Amino acid sequence: MYDIIIVGAGPAGLTSALYALRGNKKVLVLEAKNYGGQILNANKIENYPGISSISGYDFATNLYEQVKNLGGEVRFETVVKVNDNRSVVTNKETYFGKSVILATGAENRKLNIENENKFIGKGVSYCATCDGNFFKGKVVAVNGGGNTALEDALYLSDIAESVYVIHRREEFRGENRYVEELKKKKNIIFLLNSTVTSLLGNEKLESIIVTDQNREETTLKVDALFIAIGQVPKNEIFKNVVDVDEKGYILSPDGVHTKTPFIYVAGDTRVKILRQLTTAVSDGSVAAVVAMKEINE
Ligand code: NAP
């Protein structure tokens, strides 16, 4: 019997683990993929208080090691069900907890067009910092208008020969300072009011078709397309124990409790105003402290 089972080893889940371990609780963290979650995709983090600049990979690794050094147990298994009695079923085992913290974050939104899945790893990528280096001196495109797309484009502009930035509106959702930096780069080409409508190639991506607001199509020869059009939560399997909003984010009256006693939520996977590293670690600490208090009671 664990005191707290944490589902997800991103910044929120690992921060919950850190706080619970420091509270001398028996903790299990379950993670389907890699520790770190989406922050692994961040080339540089420059808005975390007290740290002027750090890579997402270093941040995630430091946090993971901090948890491991405190004796944290992290198992790389896929959770398939959480029951209201706080048993957690994975693809390998069933674990029992006095409490469960859901910190599963969100996954990359897909364009949902033909060939997208076929070309993943063959020119289609959702992570510029992971895959950008494969395209040194090549022509690449970034799709999206948020901070992720803008940061990706900046990162890729130092690696690739040229970078198309394709965004469906005129205005960017991301911060203006990134847009200004991109405008100074000679190898950035903006294609605004445009969407990627086709992915073409045989064995790998060779070109994309971009359609503008007047329905005019342009074919661009590119070696890679980096899709950065936001995230979607992955909470289908928790619907027996939580309520979700229309987009699938977990509803919580106070940002920590769910509708099921002793099952809590933390991080990007819940309904919230701001999904950033600072708010993820904040959620993680609050969830752990509340869980510890309530199981002690
Ligand atoms: P985001 O802010 O949700 O932006 C997603 C972008 O993709 C938007 O520009 C959106 O267009 C576009 N989009 C959505 N669906 C689309 C579709 N089907 N086809 C074409 N375009 C589509 O996502 P994000 O950039 O990944 O950022 C997520 C969160 O992390 C944000 O809060 C962001 O500020 C934060 N973040 C922060 C940093 C940092 O501070 N250093 C770095 C990265 C991310 P519209 O604008 O038209 O909706």
Q: For ligand 1, is residue 144 a contact (CB within 6 Å)?
A: yes
Tell me how far apart the alpha carbons of residues 1 and 26 are, in angstroms, rounded to a whole number: 8
Average pLDDT of span 127-142: 93
Average pLDDT over residues 166-187: 97
The rounded percent of the chain whose pLDDT value lies above 70 is 100
Residue extent(s) of CATH 3.50.50.60 domains in the chain: 2-108+231-296, 124-227
Cα 154 to Cα 270: distance, rounded to the nearest angstrom: 29
Distance CA 123, CA 157 (A): 17
Where is pLDDT greater, at 42 or 83? 83
> Ligand 1: which of 45, 175, 177, 276 to mutate, judged by most atoms within 8 Å of the beta carbon?
276
Lowest mean pLDDT among 38-42, 133-137, 145-149, 289-293: 38-42
**Confidence band for 169, pLDDT divided at 50, 70 and 90:** very high
145-174 per-residue burial string, b: 16 or more CB within 10 A, e: under 16? bbbbbbbbbbbbbebbebbbbbbeeeebeb
Q: Candidates 3.40.50.170, 3.40.50.2300, 3.50.50.60, 1.10.1240.10; correct CATH number of 124-227?
A: 3.50.50.60
CA distances to 53, 173, 213, 219 from 149, in Å? 19, 10, 20, 21
CA distance 152 to 150: 5
Task: Count other C-beta atoms under 10 Å from residue 121's C-beta.
Answer: 10
* Averaged pLDDT for residues 117-142: 93
Residue 43 scores a pLDDT above 80: no
**Mean per-residue pLDDT of the chain:** 96
Verify whether residue 127 is a known catalytic residue. yes
Q: What is the pLDDT of residue 234?
A: 86
Q: What is the mean pLDDT of residues 244-253?
A: 97
**Residue 136 structure tokens:** 């040194």
Q: Is 131 a catalytic residue?
A: yes
The verdict on domain 2-108+231-296 having CATH code 3.40.50.360 is: no
Pick the residue whose CA is nearest to atom 38 on ligand 1: 147
Strands 224-227 and 217-221: unpaired
Stretch 241-252: mean pLDDT: 97
Answer whether 228 contacts ligand 1 (Cβ < 6 A).
Answer: yes
pLDDT score of 41: 78
Checking phi first, is residue 50 left (phi over 0); if not, alpha (psi -120 to 50) or beta?
left
Confidence (pLDDT) at 125: 94
Query: Which of 55, 116, 143, 147 gets mutated to test ligand 1 (max ligand atoms within 8 A of its CB)?
Result: 147
Q: Is ligand 1 within 6 A of the CB of residue 210?
A: no
Residue 57: the pLDDT is: 94
